[in-house]
């Protein structure tokens, strides 16, 4: 079939080569952005008198028709038209006749595709921000219910000190808050119009870039036409922000997987977010958490692949850049899906507060309490640490916990200990007393909750 760019060519490529070079199978996701960009461009062509008002209006009507068809899923794309831009231009000409061929005056596919990508990401980043907020709301909702639910806090995955479960959940709230800020902050570098940069050097037509940018809702225009068509930094930044955000999701995924194991039994996931085994009837697997942990692989891969595509590329547009799209689409879909799943999974999980509390009682995570108690009585902390370490060993040999010791046993270890030690060793009291700013003390967690709520 004759190409829209076919004038200089004496033969058309074989079909399999055409297919190899085509992007229509995936860039059709940009159909609405492409039409939006074309509408702004052709309005600008009419306003500046580059096309007559009649021509501009005729083309606008044709584009609106295509938009309707696109929304109804009625457009039929063809590989021989290569990409979304040429497909739509061909359809426009079929729709309104040769005047459709005037749409491409003063622009190129290079600024056109860049415009589409900016429009697309600007929208999608806002969608992702909204989903981050939903997940934050789910964390806040559970945290609020579990300010006074205590469980062991871990370092090295070894029980360390008792903490509030609300405090633990809110740690993820703040990670997500930084992710949200990074996405918000990136918007100002996405919200720039490349349209009118044309192929690379600008155009001889008296176009008005500010006007088309304004029509598209962009806050500014690229200052340099070459930068405008070759910049994909905004995509790298999006992929990088996504990689870090999904890293955070994998950490929580890992905890959810651990917590829902028989060994921990701290939570039970709602059935919606788990699946059974085809052979073992008793199984309830935390599939969704595992899957998100695994999907981080593709998100990291997409970042590395984009960096590799750009590395060493000379100015300006190079066909390599067509490879920027699939990873971006895939990352958008992965992030939206993962955040949505997580919000629901957190919101609906059952927290087994009694098991968590039991884990704290059957444990030495109140040992620091005893060391602090001795230190408060004037014993140098290093010595207090040694005394408590020996007591822990004594308990291990006796197969009991610190709270099981008699006052005589305590006094034997250190004469300074009196019977107020039992109150100090209570895990709930241990948590309550960690009231330093940002600590796990219940009052601090309540303050944190108030701050978190203001941000969602």
Return d(Cα 96, Cα 219) in angstroms, integer: 32
Out of 10, 156, 278, 436, pick the active-site residue. Answer: 156
Count of CB atoms within 10 A of residue 283's CB? 11
With CA atoms as reference, report the closest residue to 150 among 360, 350, 366, 369: 360
Q: How far is the CB of 112 from ligand ARG (least distance, A)?
A: 7
C-beta closer to ligand ARG: residue 307 or 403: 307
Q: How far is the CB of 323 from ligand ARG (least distance, A)?
A: 8
With CA atoms as reference, report the closest residue to 429 among 370, 382, 389: 370
C-beta closer to ligand ARG: residue 23 or 302: 23
Q: What is the Cα 231 distance to its own chain's centre?
A: 22
Q: How far is the CB of 27 from ligand ARG (least distance, A)?
A: 6
156 is catalytic: yes
Q: How far is the CB of 322 from ligand ARG (least distance, A)?
A: 4
C-beta closer to ligand ARG: residue 326 or 386: 326
* Residue in the structure block whose two tokens are 């107020």: 420
* Residue in the structure block whose two tokens are 């200990």: 417
Out of 220, 277, 333, 418, pick the active-site residue. Answer: 277
Q: What is the Cα 268 distance to its own chain's centre?
A: 25
C-beta closer to ligand ARG: residue 211 or 329: 329
- Residues 103 and 24: beta-carbon distance below 8 Å: no
Residue 185: partners with Cβ closer than 8 Å, 6 or more residues away: none
To which H or E segment does residue 217 belong?
Answer: none
C-beta closer to ligand ARG: residue 322 or 448: 322
Return d(Cα 47, Cα 403) in angstroms, integer: 83
Contacts to ligand ARG by CB under 6 A: 23, 27, 83, 85, 109-110, 113, 317, 319, 321-322
C-beta closer to ligand ARG: residue 260 or 322: 322
- Residues 63 and 38: beta-carbon distance below 8 Å: yes
With CA atoms as reference, report the closest residue to 235 among 289, 308, 168: 308
Return d(Cα 447, Cα 173) in angstroms, integer: 14
With CA atoms as reference, report the closest residue to 450 among 144, 176, 136, 149: 144
- Residues 292 and 253: beta-carbon distance below 8 Å: yes
Q: How far is the CB of 110 from ligand ARG (least distance, A)?
A: 5
Q: How far is the CB of 75 from ligand ARG (least distance, A)?
A: 17
Positions marked catalytic:
156, 277
């Amino acid at each position: 079939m004759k190409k829209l760019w076919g004038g200089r060519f004496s033969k058309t490529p074989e079909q399999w080569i055409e297919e190899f070079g085509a992007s229509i199978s995936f860039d059709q996701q940009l159909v609405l952005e492409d039409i939006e960009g074309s509408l702004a461009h052709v309005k600008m062509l009419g306003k500046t008198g580059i096309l007559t008002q009649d021509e501009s209006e005729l083309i606008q009507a044709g584009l609106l028709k295509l938009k309707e068809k696109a929304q109804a899923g009625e457009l039929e794309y063809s590989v021989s038209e290569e990409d979304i831009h040429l497909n739509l231009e061909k359809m426009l000409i079929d729709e309104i006749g040769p005047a459709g061929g005037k749409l491409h005056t003063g622009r190129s596919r290079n600024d056109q595709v860049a415009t589409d990508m900016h429009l697309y990401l600007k929208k999608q980043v806002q969608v992702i921000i909204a989903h981050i907020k939903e997940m934050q709301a789910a964390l806040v909702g559970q945290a609020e219910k579990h300010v006074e639910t205590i469980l062991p806090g871990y370092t090295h995955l070894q029980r360390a000190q008792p903490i509030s479960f609300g405090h633990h959940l809110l740690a993820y709230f703040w990670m997500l808050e930084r992710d949200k800020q990074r996405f918000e902050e990136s918007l100002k570098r996405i919200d720039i119009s490349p349209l009118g940069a044309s192929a690379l050097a600008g155009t001889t037509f008296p176009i008005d870039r500010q006007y088309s940018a304004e029509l598209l809702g962009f806050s500014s225009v690229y200052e340099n036409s070459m930068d405008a068509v070759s910049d994909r930094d905004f995509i790298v930044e999006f992929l990088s922000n996504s990689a870090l955000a999904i890293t955070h999701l994998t950490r929580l995924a890992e905890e959810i997987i651990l917590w829902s194991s028989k060994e921990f039994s701290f939570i039970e996931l709602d059935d919606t977010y788990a699946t059974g085994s085809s052979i073992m009837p008793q199984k309830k697997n935390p599939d969704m958490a595992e899957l998100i942990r695994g999907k981080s692989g593709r998100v990291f891969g997409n970042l590395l692949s984009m960096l590799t595509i750009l590395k060493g590329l000379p100015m300006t547009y190079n066909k390599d850049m067509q490879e920027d799209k699939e990873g971006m689409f895939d990352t958008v879909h992965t992030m939206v899906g993962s955040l949505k799943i997580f919000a629901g999974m957190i919101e609906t999980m059952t927290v087994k507060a009694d098991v968590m509390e039991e884990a704290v009682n059957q444990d030495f995570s109140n040992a620091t309490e005893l060391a602090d108690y001795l230190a408060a009585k004037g014993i140098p902390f290093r010595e207090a640490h040694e005394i408590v370490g020996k007591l822990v060993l004594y308990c291990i040999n006796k197969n009991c916990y610190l709270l099981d010791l008699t006052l005589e046993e305590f006094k034997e270890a250190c004469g300074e200990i009196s019977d107020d030690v039992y109150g100090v060793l209570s895990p709930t009291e241990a948590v309550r007393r960690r009231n330093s700013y940002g600590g796990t003390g219940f009052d601090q967690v309540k303050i944190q909750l108030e701050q978190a709520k203001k941000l969602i």
